[in-house]
C-alpha cells in the first residue's frame, strides 16, 4: 500500500538532515508501504533533495 508521501515532504526531510532512506522513512513514512519510491528517494538524497525531471516519487500511476 502506497502512503502517498509527496516529493516536497521528502525534500523537507532531507533539508532537515535526513541522509538515508531509513531516516527519510522514519520522518515521513515514505517507502514504508509499497516501496516504489525507494529509488527516487535515493536519487533525491544523492542530489541534495532534487528529483530528476523525468522521475516521479512513486512508481505507481498518479491520479489527477
Kindly report the CA angle at 35 between 9 and 22, in degrees rounded to 5? 60
Residues 6+ apart with CB under 8 A from 7: 40, 44, 51, 57
pLDDT of residue 64: 42
pLDDT of residue 59: 61
pLDDT of residue 35: 86
Q: 9-64 pLDDT, tens per residue?
A: 999 999 999 999 999 999 999 999 888 889 999 999 999 988 876 666 776 554 44
Cα–Cα distances in Å, from 3 out to 15, 46, 48?
21, 23, 23
| Dihedral pair phi/psi, residue 51, rounded to 5° | -100, 130
pLDDT of residue 60: 55
Amino acid at each position: 500500500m502506497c502512503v502517498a508521501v509527496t516529493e516536497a515532504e521528502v525534500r523537507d526531510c532531507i533539508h532537515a538532515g535526513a541522509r538515508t532512506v531509513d531516516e527519510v522513512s522514519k520522518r515521513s513514512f515514505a517507502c514504508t508501504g509499497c516501496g516504489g519510491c525507494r529509488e527516487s528517494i535515493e536519487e533525491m538524497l544523492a542530489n541534495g533533495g532534487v528529483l530528476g525531471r523525468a522521475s516521479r516519487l512513486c512508481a505507481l500511476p498518479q491520479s489527477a
